[in-house]
Structure 1
């Protein structure tokens, strides 16, 4: 079962969030952070899939600060709009929205995890490193192709972290991945040969089914180990 709810950030901003509920009592909560295309069908399907695995999943609409109800595709004018909006994003502001989602689900099950894709992967990382400043107690973090992570690699995560990258990602250089490895050898990092950027999104041209399946299996195992 799923529904849209409204949550309020610490600065007073109200945003919508997509909530997917499991059939029974949740084993834990999962915050799903979008790419730069809004809480579109792809992100909702991620939340729905983890709800089937027993998590109470919530996907905050971080673009509501610019335009409510925004759902973008991956080409044409939508792609241009997505990159225009990307230039307006500020992790410190988006953390307020993620913290609002956290407050909504924090009592579900044994703990709370965060998982994100692309910009959402970056936000998952900074949520893990800056959680205490936003009164979040995250049990683990999963990031898919976290663009720009190299710039914040020196920050110290407050929970276990798992990161996925395509070995052929043209958007994220190996230097960014190495920056995390060098700063945090304890962080689990998986590279997927033959996979590019957004390899886990079935709606995008970079989708690699085998890599996506393996990454999903690893993510679920990691989440259950640290949350459930």
Structure 2
């Protein structure tokens, strides 16, 4: 764990994992209501294994330190209370501080689940220096559809989620066509954590594949397309134009 200082001078900890070699960029992983628990640390480590600096801020530190909750009734109850107590403004400020702490690694993506999914969605418009945002079954996202997203945003919803009715997801898609929103028919809330009772391996893998593609596209950027005749165009300014041969691939023949 490392220590960071928010804009209001309050201190908070963060779990950081670094990749081997030069990083491709950075991923800020936003905790759920259960704190920086083993599942969140595992998710953070997985992004580091893919070549990104990965970091998870402890967003409950303002009200309670070292929170790691289970997924039982007691954990849900305590997590709900902490979410209400800490609010959203300070966590978003802490996310901004976290983004600033890793931006030297390259472009920065934000990924979150549950409460963290909502904060990731909100960060797209309220946190600067973010290349893209990804949210999993974010509580409150479907009600927050009025503003157009400022950065590319990807969302994952479970179709069997009692806390986010699928009819609301359908309406959200209609209201926010600028957001890429995928749904998973057999999955429920919490499908992304293998420590959760609702873990759904197939949905989690599909969502991860889409998430990694999204991050590679907006954090790393698209690799250059290698065209057969790219060399002749690239050297056009430095070499004399050569006589065209019959087998040159410079486009379709004239009609």
* TM-score under structure 1 length normalisation: 0.93
Among 101, 118, 123, the residue aligned to 1:122: 118
Deviation digits for residues 147-169 of structure 1, max 9, x if unmatched?
A: 11123211222110110011101
How far is the alpha carbon of 1:77 from its aligned partner? 2.7
Among 122, 137, 158, the residue aligned to 1:145: 137
- CA-based RMSD of the aligned residues comes to 1.2
Aligned residues: 220
* TM-score under structure 2 length normalisation: 0.83
Does 1:56 pair with 2:48? no
Identify, as 1 or 2, the structure richer in strand.
Answer: 1
- Structure 2 gap segments, 5+ residues each: 221-255
Partner Cα separation in structure 2 for residue 144 and residue 156 of structure 1: 19
Does 1:173 pair with 2:173? no
Moved over 3 A (4+): none
- Secondary structure in 2 matching 1:181: helix
- Higher RCO (CA 8 Å, separation ≥ 6 residues): 1
Partner Cα separation in structure 1 for residue 73 and residue 142 of structure 2: 29
Q: Is the 8 A contact 1:154 1:180 kept in 2?
A: no
How far is the alpha carbon of 1:45 from its aligned partner? 0.4
- Secondary structure in 2 matching 1:201: coil
Deviation digits for residues 42-76 of structure 1, max 9, x if unmatched?
A: 00000100000011011000010111111111114
- Structure 1 gap segments, 5+ residues each: none
Which sits farther off after the overlay, 83-92 or 54-63? 83-92
Partner Cα separation in structure 1 for residue 158 and residue 142 of structure 2: 15
